[in-house]
Amino acid sequence: MNIAIDGPAGAGKSTVAKMVAGKLDYLYIDTGSMYRALAWAVLDQGLPIEDESVVSKLLKENDIRLRRVQGEQHVYWNNTDVTEWIRTPNVSQYASVVASYASVREQMLILQRNLAVQGKVVMDGRDIGTHVLPDAEVKIFLTASIQERAMRRWKELRDKGFDPNLAEMEQEIAERDQRDMNREVAPLRQAEDAILVDTTGMTIAQVAERILEICERVGESSQ
Ligand code: CDP
Ligand code: CDP
């Protein structure tokens, strides 16, 4: 069985996908980290983000790899571990720009499908149920109100010792969601056969529980 989890920023995809993968002993794959690594490299090298051919060539000529390091997934740009550098608001915005390019998505699709060939993966992103793993046995579309998603991200940064501005975070997330939903190639949308889980007001444990129940049901009905 493969499990696809899609949804907007701050819906809880990566936190919950990691828990579900841990419970089922599946491999967790965070596809957003791959777009983030590419965006980081564009910034790091001072390349023009608005030039699709430059960004696409950069991806073609370099390697993005996911590796497990002490039980956690790390993302590498060639031999450099960039995991710690890809979560800034700047990289988030750049990630959704590079993710709007067809030639970038084509390459990412191949990389991501290769990561899932052995099965038993929980993959999260924006287009997993619709494009990357259209045959996934379980498809979940996670969402929550924009206020709650912004608040979750705000708390996350505050707990790391930053002093974030809630209104700015809400604005940043709303902008990124709009870009992700309105791009021409593989926009963020719920697959027809995905189950919608609105996590507004739900704890992480409750969401994980709900998804595990869905997996169990699907597993039983396929026997
Ligand atoms: O991957 P995605 O952007 O969808 O969200 P995330 O990074 O998994 O979650 C964003 C933040 O919300 C994290 O700090 C989670 O701990 C928190 N969260 C929460 O408070 N309640 C939930 N039901 C889900 C996530
Ligand atoms: O954690 P958060 O939900 O904020 O973002 P992410 O999952 O790390 O993804 C960062 C950006 O990459 C998104 O805003 C999308 O533009 C893009 N992305 C995508 O287009 N397709 C995916 N499968 C995963 C991410």
Q: What string of DSSP letters covers 95-133?
A: HHHHTT-HHHHHHHHHHHHHHTTTS-EEEEESSIIIII-
DSSP 8-state class, residue 77: E
Ligand 2 atom with the shortest distance to the CA of 112: 23
Proportion of the chain above pLDDT 70, given as a percent: 100
Residue 12 in contact with ligand 2 by CB distance below 6 A: no
Asked whether residue 11 is marked as a ligand-binding residue, the answer is yes
Cα of 9 vs centre of ligand 2, distance in Å, is 7
Asked whether residue 60 is marked as a ligand-binding residue, the answer is no
CATH number listed for the domain at residues 3-215: 3.40.50.300
Confidence of residue 146 (pLDDT cuts 50, 70, 90): very high
Say yes or no to pLDDT of 32 above 80. Answer: yes
Dump pLDDT digits (tens) for 164-178: 999 999 999 999 999
Counting ligand 1 atoms within 8 A of each CB, the residue from 5, 6, 15 with the most, and so the one to mutate, is 15
Say yes or no to pLDDT of 4 above 80. Answer: yes
Residue 156 in contact with ligand 1 by CB distance below 6 A: yes
Q: Say if strands 138-143 and 121-125 run parallel, antiparallel, or are unpaired.
A: unpaired
Confidence of residue 222 (pLDDT cuts 50, 70, 90): confident
Q: Could you tell me if residue 209 is left (phi over 0), alpha (psi between -120 and 50 degrees) or otherwise beta? A: alpha
CA 171 from centroid of its chain's CA atoms: 19
Q: Which two tokens stand for residue 153?
A: 């991200």
Asked whether residue 10 is marked as a ligand-binding residue, the answer is yes
Q: What is the mean predicted confidence (pLDDT) over 200-219?
A: 97
Ramachandran angles phi, psi of 137, nearest 5°: -70, -35
Confidence of residue 223 (pLDDT cuts 50, 70, 90): confident
Confidence of residue 154 (pLDDT cuts 50, 70, 90): very high
Dump pLDDT digits (tens) for 34-69: 999 999 999 999 999 999 999 999 999 999 999 999
